[in-house]
Structure 1
Amino acid sequence: MPETLAALFLAHVLADYVFQPGWMVEEKSRPETLFLHFLAVALTAMVTTGQVASPAIYALALVHITIDTIKTHAFSDSFLPHITDQALHLTSLIAVALISPDLFAKGAYATFLWLPKAMLLTAGAIYATRAGGFAVGKLMEGFGPSPIEQSLDKGGFWIGLLERALIFLLLIGQMPGGIGFLVAAKSVLRFEAAQEGKKAEWVIIGTLASFGWAIAVTLAVLFIAAQLPPLGISTLND
């Protein structure tokens, strides 16, 4: 079951955060766009599980599109609907893995015992960084425009991406103490902004949300990774 879950998680991450361009997100209310996303969900699941004709994959893709359709037509594109949407997608992955636990074991990659953990770590890295950027961004949109006037183009985006990537690597590499260094470094670099009330609150909320997302995702990845065969790298608790 953990092998199947790891493969399906990577498929979900690829379909939602790698092979779903901005125009597809903006036009998801159109039936043809939803169909294209359905194909992406189904095809990525086929590739990661090594299965082509499994009914479980088509059922998963159908559930995924149903969730997206309801969210697009019934809710706004704000933080709470976005998080609920992702929670439902992840729940559907777990449900399929429980119903069809041998999906990966009976697929084309069954002999590659190290592959599920590699898939899990890859998916975890993308989910901690890129998915975290969308989640934190939608959270901060609820507080209005950024009060920090002078900033590089997409500077905040890259800072958040890099800090979540570093947190993921530090926890995977069993160096959690390094997170404290990140907090201290960001505090020094953002010292001037932290002197003003509104800017300080903006930086604190954004930083805590970004750090919290990365830590939560990485801990979940480590929990699942502990159930999988060794990858062959000692720093990954094999």
Structure 2
Amino acid sequence: MDSIKIKILIPLVAAHFLSDFVLQTDLDVKQKKKLKIFLKHISLVTSVSYLFLGLFYNYLIPVFILITHSLIDLIKLKVKKDNIWIFLSDQFLHIIILIFVSSNHTYFTDTSDQFSWEKYFGKDYYSVLLLITSSIIITKFSGILIGYLIKPLQSKIFKEAQSNNNLPQTGKIIGYLERFIILISVLMNVPAIIGFLITAKSILRYAEIKSENDKLFVEYILIGTLFSFALGISISYLANESITAMKVII
């Protein structure tokens, strides 16, 4: 595989996930129809892409990212629907654009262009970007995906528990932490921690059952936990393999 392609793809993907899931707040997402908020997001995506890429004399790639990201986000706003398929389609289109840019890098960059960050940090720079990307995917991205998957159950469980609005938010934070622990355990080659985590959480949840309503709630939690662990383990091993492969290719 072309090493230049990877040197372009990794920074652009990292910039995308950082801009879409960390620098863009939940409030920004809700108010994205406002021109000010929309322009703020597009500016962040473009700036972070330019910064992470490290080709400081190349403006064609950032401009292309600005135009294509704007078009995809505008289409999503026009659709006016919020479901798992819209969410995944939006992300899929963004990633396809980044793959297109990196695969056709000869049209966007000069082969003599130097990657500034690689010059100072070597391969470690790309390893750090992969870690950042993996951390965002395994926490925020996976959290949103799980939210869509369990939304039908969530509305049923919490319709009689509206006074305790912290429950879903607390579960989200716990999910972030458990999946991040899985990522660290896989990267450090200590997979036994995953088994301990699954066992401990299962025991704690079943210990909470006191009535039929509690049983329904715990079953909801366990379904979310299964999704969480499945995504956490899959993404962690994929991240580990990606980092290993990157060191061979570059």
Normalised-by-shorter TM-score class: 0.7 to 0.9
Does 1:42 pair with 2:25?
Answer: no
Equivalent residue for 1:208?
A: 226
Once the two structures are overlaid, the 10-residue window that deviates more, 104-113 or 81-90, is 104-113
Q: 1:193 to 1:151 in 2, by over 3 A?
A: farther
Whole-Å separation in 2 of the counterparts to 1:174 and 1:151: 38
Does 1:2 pair with 2:6?
Answer: yes
Does 1:23 pair with 2:9?
Answer: no
SS of alignment partner, residue 197 of structure 2:
helix
- Where does 1:1-238 land on structure 2 (aligned, <5 Å)? 1-52=5-56, 53-100=58-105, 106-111=114-119, 112-113=121-122, 114-145=124-155, 147=157, 149=161, 154-192=169-207, 196=212, 198-229=216-247
Alignment check: 8 A CA contact 2:50 2:62 kept: yes
SS of alignment partner, residue 147 of structure 1:
helix
Q: Which amino acid aligns with 1:121?
A: L
Q: Give the count of matched residue pairs.
A: 230
SS of alignment partner, residue 116 of structure 2:
coil
> CA shift at 1:90, angstroms?
2.2
Alignment check: 8 A CA contact 1:193 1:200 kept: yes
Alignment check: 8 A CA contact 1:78 1:139 kept: no
Equivalent residue for 1:235?
A: none
Deviations along 1:33-73, one digit per CA (max 9) or x if unpaired, are 22221111100001101134331222123222222221222
Whole-Å separation in 2 of the counterparts to 1:194 and 1:67: 46
Q: 1:58 to 1:219 in 2, by over 3 A?
A: farther
Deviations along 1:155-197, one digit per CA (max 9) or x if unpaired, are 2122111111111111111222321111111101111456855
Question: What TM-score comes out, normalization by structure 1 length?
Answer: 0.84
> CA shift at 1:214, angstroms?
2.0
Alignment check: 8 A CA contact 1:3 1:228 kept: no
Q: 1:62 to 1:212 in 2, by over 3 A?
A: farther
Alignment check: 8 A CA contact 1:128 1:164 kept: yes
Whole-Å separation in 1 of the counterparts to 2:9 and 2:233: 20
Q: Which amino acid aligns with 2:236?
A: T
Whole-Å separation in 1 of the counterparts to 2:156 and 2:236: 28
> CA shift at 1:89, angstroms?
2.0
> CA shift at 1:122, angstroms?
1.6
Whole-Å separation in 1 of the counterparts to 2:165 and 2:38: 36
Q: 1:223 to 1:40 in 2, by over 3 A?
A: same
Residue identity (%): 26
Whole-Å separation in 2 of the counterparts to 1:64 and 1:145: 32
Whole-Å separation in 2 of the counterparts to 1:96 and 1:76: 28
Q: Which amino acid aligns with 1:30?
A: K
Question: What TM-score comes out, normalization by structure 2 length?
Answer: 0.80
Deviations along 1:86-120, one digit per CA (max 9) or x if unpaired, are 22222222222222289697332231212111111
Q: 1:107 to 1:26 in 2, by over 3 A?
A: same
Alignment check: 8 A CA contact 2:154 2:220 kept: no
Q: Which has the higher helix share?
A: 2
Q: 1:220 to 1:59 in 2, by over 3 A?
A: farther
SS of alignment partner, residue 51 of structure 1:
coil
> CA shift at 1:75, angstroms?
4.2
The gaps in structure 1 that reach 5 residues or longer are 231-238
